Structures are given as C-alpha cells and as structure tokens.
C-alpha cells in the first residue's frame, strides 16, 4: 500500500449537540460554515459550552482524514503545531495511540480548539480558535518529513498561510509525492479564490470539494464544477451530501448514492472520512468505482455517531466491508 501524510490545523474538537439553532444566531455563525474566532469570542463560547454536555476528540480536517486512514491500518503521518498544554499533549498522545506518526511542533501557546455546534438535523457548524495551530511556519517543514510517503494531503483551512502551503507542496513535489487538496469551506474558498486557483492549477493532483465549495471555486453547478476541476487535476471529487458523490479520473465519471442510514446524528467529519475512503482506494490502486464505494462506506458510518469516535465493533465491520470492496 502507498503511504500518505497530512498537513493541517492540529485541533481538538469540543462538540455540543444543540436543541435548536438559536446559539448559532447568538454568536453570528452561519449554519454549516467554519468561522475563525479570536480570544474574546473564544472566551464567550467557552463559557457557554461549560453549561452544555460536550465531548472532546482530536480534530481538524486533515487530522480526521488521517485518523480514519490509521484505523484502516494505513499508518499515515500528520504535520501540525500544538500548544505545550494539556490539550496539545492530548492531541499528540491520541495520534500515537491511533497509529498516526506525528510531526508536531510544541509552542508556549494555547492549543487550537474547534467548537462544534451540532444542529438537530445533524448539520455541524464550527467556531475555530486556531491558537498554536495557526503558528505553523514554512521553516517548521523539512524535506525529511516527506520521505517514504506517496501522497501529501493538504487541509484547505491552511491555505490562508500562503508561504506555508507553497513550501509544503513544493517539498512534496520535489520528493515525488502527489498533492491532494480539500477545499475546506465555501467561505474560505470565496475569500481566497485567487490563491486556491493557483494551487489547483499548478500543484494539485487530487481535489475534494462539496457542492458549496465547488460552486465557490468555479461559479458552476456541481456536475459542471466537477468537469472544470477535473480539467485542472488528475482526480476531482465533488461530495453531494445526502445525494452522494461524483468523481472523475482520466475522463471516467462515477456517480454514487449516499449510504442509507437510519438517522443522521452528526455530519462532523463526513467529508473528511469520505476523503479517507477515496484515498485508501487510490493508495491501493483501486478502480474509481471502488474508491467511491470506500468513501461512501466511511462517511456513512461516521454520520451515525457524534464526533469521530467509532467503536471497535464498528471499525471491525467497516474493515470487513473495505476488504470486500477492495477484493472485488
């Protein structure tokens, strides 16, 4: 199997299930988006979360994708920056425990936290305090980090640090890696469209986007956006939520319905786990149909639980189905 390393914001997710969406309005958070917050807003949200029933888990978009791949036995790496605090060490210890090789820098700052608001319909909204995660710099990266890997998976939320991302993709390309980019969030893409376009056109081999992100990038509806993205890179993926997904490679298009589930509990990491399934397929030289099925399998399971902590029994079931799909 080929190997993959991710780079992203090293965050710990603090998840709260809402009775309604009034809290989103209180904090001015667009439903389904990711909004960066500062110290004052972080304190306000932290105070409100103290009165709610919350769960804690390692997070960050690329971190979630590497976590899913680790649970499938892929032994991925992860590059990020955390604070030298309880939260940062929780993140690092969880990486090692789950089979992710961490390349972490520890700083004398508060670690990043993603406050996750889970609406009654399962939709999630993030208020993200980057803290130490935002302090990763180009000089934190070295050629040695990319040795032995075949893919670099880039979290789109990092794209605001242009110098960092350019350093990462240039090191990856120099080492012979293919570059995968997740477009992160529609508002992030819209705010930095020119640089996203530069990345996809010049460096990216595999691109992941949901409907809103694809529209923000291309100003086209999903199917036309998929074709546009595919014209710029080797593999293009547009995630369509409950409607499934569309993937293109070498002119071939695969459209697959979403997995039927009894109840959508939380869509946190659904796209991240979908990307993990697709990447697992690519890492094992699977067909495009198999890649789509693997992504659908993983995303279909994670939306049935709060956060990304699937039980051992669930992972065993997933791995049996992964073996069935790959062995077709």
**Tens digits of per-residue pLDDT, 175-216?**
999 999 999 888 889 999 999 999 999 999 999 999 999 999
What mean pLDDT comes out for the span 259-264?
86
pLDDT at position 124? 85
pLDDT tens for 131-171 read 999 999 999 999 999 999 999 999 998 888 999 999 999 99
User: Across the beta sheet with 11-17, what order do the strands follow?
Assistant: 34-36, 124-129, 112-118, 11-17, 54-59
Q: Residue 30: pLDDT band by 50, 70, 90 thresholds?
A: very high
**Per-residue exposure over 113-146, b if at least 16 CB sit within 10 Å of its own CB, e if not:** bbbbbbbeebbbbbbbbbbbbbbbeeebbeeebb
Burial class of residue 320 in the structure, from the number of CB atoms within 10 Å of its CB (0-12 exposed, 13-18 middle, 19+ buried) = exposed
What mean pLDDT comes out for the span 293-298?
97
Gap between the Cα atoms of 281 and 143, Å rounded: 26
Q: CA 302 → CA 62, 224, 292, distances in Å?
A: 15, 28, 16
pLDDT at position 70? 97
pLDDT tens for 7-17 read 999 999 898 99
Q: Residue 262: pLDDT band by 50, 70, 90 thresholds?
A: confident
What mean pLDDT comes out for the span 311-317?
94
pLDDT: which is higher, 305 or 30? 30
Give the closest residue to 307 by CA, choosing from 85, 17, 104, 45: 17
- What are the structural domains of the chain? 4-9+59-110+134-326 (3.40.1190.20)
Give strand ranges (E) for the chain. Answer: 4-7, 11-17, 34-36, 54-59, 77-83, 101-107, 112-118, 124-129, 151-155, 178-182, 206-210, 235-239, 245-249, 252-256
**Per-residue exposure over 70-107, b if at least 16 CB sit within 10 Å of its own CB, e if not:** bbbebebbbbbbbbebebbebbbebbeeebbbbbbbeb
| Model confidence, pTM | 0.89
Percent of the chain whose predicted confidence (pLDDT) is above 70: 100
Partners of 78 in beta bridges: 6, 102
- pLDDT over 80 at 266, yes or no: no
pLDDT at position 265? 81
DSSP H/E element including 296:
helix 288-302
Q: How far is CA 288 from the centre of its chain?
A: 20
User: Reduced to 3 states, what is the DSSP secondary structure of residue 274?
Assistant: helix
pLDDT at position 309? 82
- pLDDT over 90 at 260, yes or no: no
Gap between the Cα atoms of 105 and 82, Å rounded: 6
**Which DSSP letter does residue 183 get?**
-
pLDDT: which is higher, 307 or 312? 312
pLDDT at position 99? 95
- pLDDT over 80 at 328, yes or no: no
CB atoms within 10 A of CB 240: 18
Percent of the chain whose predicted confidence (pLDDT) is above 90: 81
The H helix count followed by the E strand count for the chain is: 12, 14
pLDDT tens for 229-252 read 999 999 999 999 889 999 999 999
* Residue-averaged pLDDT of the chain: 93
- pLDDT over 90 at 268, yes or no: no
pLDDT tens for 52-75 read 988 888 888 999 999 999 999 999
Gap between the Cα atoms of 63 and 4, Å rounded: 12
Residue whose structure tokens are 């009775």: 19
């Amino acid at each position: 199997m080929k190997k993959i390393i991710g780079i992203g914001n090293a965050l710990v997710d603090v998840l709260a299930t809402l009775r309604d969406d009034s809290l989103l309005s209180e904090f001015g958070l667009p439903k389904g988006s990711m909004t960066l917050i500062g110290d004052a807003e972080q304190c306000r949200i932290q105070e409100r979360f103290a009165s709610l029933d919350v769960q804690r888990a390692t997070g960050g978009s690329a971190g979630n994708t590497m976590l899913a791949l680790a649970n499938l036995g892929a032994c991925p790496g992860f590059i990020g920056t955390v604070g030298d605090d309880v939260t940062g060490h929780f993140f690092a210890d969880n990486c090692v425990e789950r089979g992710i090789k961490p390349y972490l820098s520890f700083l004398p700052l508060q670690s990043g936290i993603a406050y996750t608001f889970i609406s009654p319909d399962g939709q999630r909204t993030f208020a993200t305090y980057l803290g130490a995660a935002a302090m990763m710099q180009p000089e934190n990266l070295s050629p040695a980090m990319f040795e032995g890997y075949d893919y670099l998976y880039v979290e789109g939320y990092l794209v605001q640090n242009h110098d960092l991302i350019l350093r990462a993709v240039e090191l990856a390309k120099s080492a012979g890696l293919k570059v995968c980019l997740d477009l992160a969030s529609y508002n992030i893409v819209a705010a930095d469209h020119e640089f996203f376009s530069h990345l996809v056109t010049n460096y990216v081999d595999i691109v992941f986007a949901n409907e809103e992100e694809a529209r923000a990038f291309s100003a086209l509806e999903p199917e036309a956006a998929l074709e546009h993205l595919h014209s710029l890179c080797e593999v293009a993926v547009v995630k369509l939520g409950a409607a499934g997904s569309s993937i293109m490679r070498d002119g071939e298009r695969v459209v697959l319905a979403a997995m039927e589930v009894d109840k959508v509990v939380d869509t946190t990491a659904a796209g991240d786990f979908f990307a993990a399934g697709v990447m697992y397929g690519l890492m094992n030289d699977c067909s495009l149909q198999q890649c789509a099925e693997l992504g659908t399998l993983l995303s279909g399971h994670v939306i049935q639980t709060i956060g990304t902590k699937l039980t051992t029994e669930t992972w065993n079931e997933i791995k049996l189905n992964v073996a069935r799909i790959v062995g077709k």
